Each structure stands twice: as structure tokens, then as C-alpha cells.
Structure 1
Amino acid sequence: MTKKILILLSEWGYWGEELVGPLSKFDERGYSVDFATPTGKKPTPLPPSLQPDFIDPPLGRSVVSTEVAEMTRKVDESDRLDHPINMKDWLPERPYTSDDNYLRKLEQYNDDFDKISDDIAKYDTMLIVGGSGPIVDLANNERVHNLILAFLKAGKPVAAECYGVACLAFARDWENRKSIIWGKNVTGHCKEYDYKDGTGFNGADINIGPPPYPLEYILRDATGPDGAYHGRYGHKTSVMVDYPFITGRSTPDSFLTGQKIVEVLEDGLTRWGW
């Protein structure tokens, strides 16, 4: 049976290679792919991820090859991303405790959320693509957190790249508030890769300087004493498989992340990278 993948993308800009790297591996295998965004808008690549002459400040070199830039451009100009699933319409949102008739609304919320199990059943895994955009509309998005929890409840692996890994750190059971990656080994955007200046987003004429939070510190805390964050700074790639999670550090890890997702689905890979 053909594998089916759900890919989550920010509406504030994704990094091109972090989409086309895994996507190319899925396409090679003939996997079916659905895309989703927070409000159903078409996602767009961050402009630097289309520019082979862009010099990444922390690395002091280009991180965009001509080939990958062209791959990203082709996907962006195709119709593949034109009509993503609207997560706002698909997934319910937990009511405020201050809402009138809160208990009845909470019961309805739980009933509605239970109904998405049939939708989840058709997917084999989900992937959260990185870039600066997820900082804005994915990392602290309750619907994203609940979708992750639904995949885990269904016994399905979950993958994330770069700043998309923040979603895993913040996805928590409502009762105990403990991160789902507690006790796990993960990677994600390391402190040495953070910009000191130049963090921006599509659709906003703004430069917020450095990222608003250091992802490495969050992941170190979220994994707890029995898990670990692995930045592997000084190594060309960093991808971790600690089932049911597959995590990729940053742009150079994108194709390898896709390959490891394939190996999890096809070969039963449960541990790799540390």
C-alpha cells in the first residue's frame, strides 16, 4: 500500500531545502503527500532559501545550492502547494476556561477532536518543515500540538526539522504538561547556528534581529535528565531517530531527514544518529 505523508508548513515562510529535501525522498518512493497550513493559505519559501549567493552568517558560506534553489522554485511555481489543508477548519480549538458554558464546550471540543482519528488513520507520518516561519504560527499553535498528540496516540511517528522541532517541545498532555520529547534524544537548530541579526518572515517587513528564543536551550530542558539534545556542531549533518520521533537540525540535514523518515517507514528504523 502506498505510504501517505502529511507535511505542515508555516504561512510566514519555510526554508526551501527543508521542504524539497524530504519531499524529493517521498516522491522517489511514490508516496502520496498532503500539505497543511494554519489557515489554509499557500505557503511560500523564504527568499534567502532561493538564493545560491546568500551567505549564511553563522556558517560563513552559502547554504543554498543552485540545484536546490531550482527544486524549491519548481515546487513553489507548481500547483502542489496551492490548496493546503486548513488546520483551523480541520481541527477544533480548546475553549478558554473563562468562556461561558465552559464544561459543555470542553465536552464538545473533546468529541470533535476524537473524530479526527479517522483522518489520521490514512497517514503514515507527519513532518513539520522548518525555517523562521514556524516561530510565528506553528511553535505555539495548539492545533499543531494536538495534531502531534493525535499521531502519537495512533502509534505513528512524527518528524520535524530546524525550528519546527519547537513544536515537539511544546506539545504536551493537558493534564501533566510534560513535553512529549521528555527522555528522548533529539536535534534541532543549535545555538551556534542562530543569527545575531536578520531574522525575518514572509509577509512582514521586519527584522527582529536574533531569533526570539534559542531553540537549543528549549530542547535541552524539554528532553529532561534521561534524554538529550544533540547539536553536533562541527559535524556536517545532525539527524536523530529516537522512535517515534525523527528530528533534523537545520538546512544541510534536510535530505538526510527525508531518507531517515523513509527508513523508519520502510525498514522499521527506531534509533539512529547518536
Structure 2
Amino acid sequence: MSKNILIILSEHGYWGEELLGPVVACDERGYRTVFATPTGKRPQALPPSLDPGYIDPPLGRSVTTPEVAVAATELDRSSRLDNPLSLAEWIPDRPYFSEPDHLRKIEAYYRELGTLDKDVEQYDALVIVGGSGPIVDLANNGRLHELILAFVRADKPIVAECYGVACLAFARDWEDRESIILGKHVTGHCKEYDYKDGTGFVTTDFNMGPPPYPLEYILQDATGPEGRYHGNVGRETSVLVDYPFITARSTPDSFLAGQKMVEVLESGLRKYGW
């Protein structure tokens, strides 16, 4: 039976290979891919991610092969990304506690949210694509957090890449406020590979300089004393499976992350990389 994979993309720029890797894995297995963005706008690849001549400052070399550049460009320009689902139209927004008639509004919020568990039954896995864009509109997106929590309740795998892994650290039930990756082993963008300058986004010319937060430190804290963040600095790839989470450090890990998702779905893989 074919599987359905829900893929979440930022509207402020995704890294080409980090979408390409999971999509290729899905296409090879005949999986159906469904794309979603925060407000339903068409996602765009970050221009450097489609340029094989772009030299990544922390690594001092190109991170995009000519073959990946061509394939990622074709995917970015294809009609597949034209009409993504809108998280804003699908999932309710939690009301402020200061809003008038808050009690009625929070009751309505939970009523609307109650259908989410049923909605995710149609999907077999969730993928959160990385790049700098997720810093802006995915990491602290409450609607996405609720979607992630629904996949956790359904015991379905969640793939998160690069700065998309921050979404897992911040997705928390409001009752206990504990991170869902507490006690888990994860990877994600490490301090050594962070930019010191040039963190940019599509839809704006703003240069943030360095990332606004070191993802490594957030993941170290979120996993707690019983879990662990793995940077794997110097190793060419860093992908971890600690079910239901499949985490990928950065660009070179995209294809491996897609492969591990397939193994989780088809072979029952529950642990890898630690």
C-alpha cells in the first residue's frame, strides 16, 4: 500500500537538497508527498542552495554538487510545490489569555483542535525541511507544534532536518511544558557549522548575521540528562533515529534521512546512529 508523507516547508526559504533528499526517497518507493507551509504560500529554495559554486563559510567548500543543484532546481520550479496546504487554514491558533471572553475562545480552540488526531490518520510520516527559513516561521509556530504533537500521539515518525529540528525542541504540551525530545538522542545544526555572518532568507534582503540562536545549545537542554545531542563534528553525515524522531544535522544528511525514514516505515527501524 502506498504511503502518504506530509512535508512542511518554510515560506522564507528552504535548502534545496534538504527537500530533495526526502522527496527522492519517497518517489523511489512510490509514496505520495503532500506539501504544507505556514500560510499556504508557495515555498522557495534559498538561492545559495541551488548554486554549486557557493562556498559554505564554516566548511570552506561547496556543499551542493552540480547534480543536486540541477535536481533541486527542477523540483523548486516544478508544479509540485504550487498549491501547498495552509497550516493557518487547517489548524486553529491558540487565543491570547488577555483576549475578551477567553474561556469561550479556548474551549472553541480545543474543539477545533480535536479533529487534528483524525486528520493525521491519513499520513504515515511528517517531514520538516531545513534551511534558514524555519528560524522565521516554523521553529516557534504554534500550529506546527500542535501538528507535531498529533503525530507523536499517533506514534508516527517525524523527520526534522537542520534548523527544522528546533520545532521538536519547542513542541510542548501546555500542561507540562516538557520538550517532546526529553530523554531522546538527536542531532541538528552544530555550533561549528553555524554562520558568523550571512544568515539570510527569501522574501527579504535582511542579513541576520549569525543565526539568532545556537541550535546545539537548545537541543542539549531540551534532551535533558537522560538524552543527548550529537554534533558529530567532522563526520560527513549525522542522522539519528530515536523513534519516532529522525533528525538530520544539515545538508549532506538529507538523502540519508530520507533513506532512514523509509527503513522506519518499512523495516521497523527504531534506533540508528547512536
Structure 1 position 107 matched with structure 2 position 126: no
The alignment-based identity, stated in percent, is: 67
CA distance in structure 2 between the partners assigned to 1:97 and 1:265 by the alignment? 40
- Aligned partner of 1:33 in structure 2 is 33
Task: Report if the CA contact (8 A) 2:126-2:159 is conserved.
Answer: yes
Structure 1 position 55 matched with structure 2 position 55: yes
CA distance in structure 2 between the partners assigned to 1:242 and 1:117 by the alignment? 22
CA distance in structure 2 between the partners assigned to 1:43 and 1:72 by the alignment? 13
Q: TM-score, normalised by structure 1?
A: 0.99
CA distance in structure 1 between the partners assigned to 2:161 and 2:77 by the alignment? 23
Structure 1 residue 117, shift from structure 2 partner: 2.2
> Which secondary structure does the structure 1 equivalent of 2:148 belong to?
helix
CA distance in structure 2 between the partners assigned to 1:71 and 1:106 by the alignment? 45
> Which secondary structure does the structure 2 equivalent of 1:166 belong to?
helix
> Which secondary structure does the structure 2 equivalent of 1:168 belong to?
helix
Structure 1 residue 22, shift from structure 2 partner: 1.0
CA distance in structure 2 between the partners assigned to 1:77 and 1:148 by the alignment? 28
> Which secondary structure does the structure 1 equivalent of 2:69 belong to?
helix
- Aligned partner of 2:124 in structure 1 is 124
Structure 1 position 92 matched with structure 2 position 92: yes
CA distance in structure 1 between the partners assigned to 2:58 and 2:35 by the alignment? 30
Structure 1 residue 172, shift from structure 2 partner: 0.5
- Aligned partner of 1:138 in structure 2 is 138
Structure 1 residue 30, shift from structure 2 partner: 0.2
CA distance in structure 1 between the partners assigned to 2:209 and 2:261 by the alignment? 33
Q: Which runs of 5+ in 2 are unaligned?
A: none
Structure 1 residue 175, shift from structure 2 partner: 0.9
Q: Summarize deviations over 1:37-60 as a string: whole Å, max 9, x none.
A: 000000000000010000001001
Structure 1 residue 103, shift from structure 2 partner: 1.0
Q: Which amino acid aligns with 1:164?
A: G
> Which secondary structure does the structure 1 equivalent of 2:80 belong to?
coil
- Aligned partner of 1:151 in structure 2 is 151
> Which secondary structure does the structure 1 equivalent of 2:126 belong to?
strand
CA distance in structure 1 between the partners assigned to 2:43 and 2:77 by the alignment? 11
CA distance in structure 1 between the partners assigned to 2:122 and 2:158 by the alignment? 14
Q: Which amino acid aligns with 1:172?
A: R
Q: TM-score, normalised by structure 2?
A: 0.99
Structure 1 residue 119, shift from structure 2 partner: 1.6
What are the within-5 Å matches in structure 2 for residues 1-274 of structure 1? 1-274=1-274
> Which secondary structure does the structure 1 equivalent of 2:105 belong to?
helix
Structure 1 residue 206, shift from structure 2 partner: 1.2
Q: Which amino acid aligns with 1:80?
A: R
> After TM superposition, which residue ranges in structure 1, 4 or more long, deviate above 6 angstroms?
none
Q: Summarize deviations over 1:4-45 as a string: whole Å, max 9, x none.
A: 100000000000000001110110000001000000000000
Q: Summarize deviations over 1:191-238 as a string: whole Å, max 9, x none.
A: 000001110000111111100000000000000000000000010000
> Which secondary structure does the structure 1 equivalent of 2:21 belong to?
helix
Cα root mean square deviation, aligned: 0.6
CA distance in structure 1 between the partners assigned to 2:127 and 2:67 by the alignment? 23
CA distance in structure 2 between the partners assigned to 1:125 and 1:107 by the alignment? 29
CA distance in structure 2 between the partners assigned to 1:168 and 1:5 by the alignment? 18
Q: Which runs of 5+ in 1 are unaligned?
A: none
Q: Which amino acid aligns with 1:120?
A: V
> Which secondary structure does the structure 2 equivalent of 1:80 belong to?
helix
Q: Which amino acid aligns with 1:117?
A: D
Structure 1 residue 104, shift from structure 2 partner: 1.1
Q: Which amino acid aligns with 2:160?
A: A
Structure 1 residue 166, shift from structure 2 partner: 0.2
CA distance in structure 1 between the partners assigned to 2:64 and 2:19 by the alignment? 13
Q: Summarize deviations over 1:157-208 as a string: whole Å, max 9, x none.
A: 1110000000000000101111000000000000000001110000111111
Q: Summarize deviations over 1:100-119 as a string: whole Å, max 9, x none.
A: 11111111111101112222
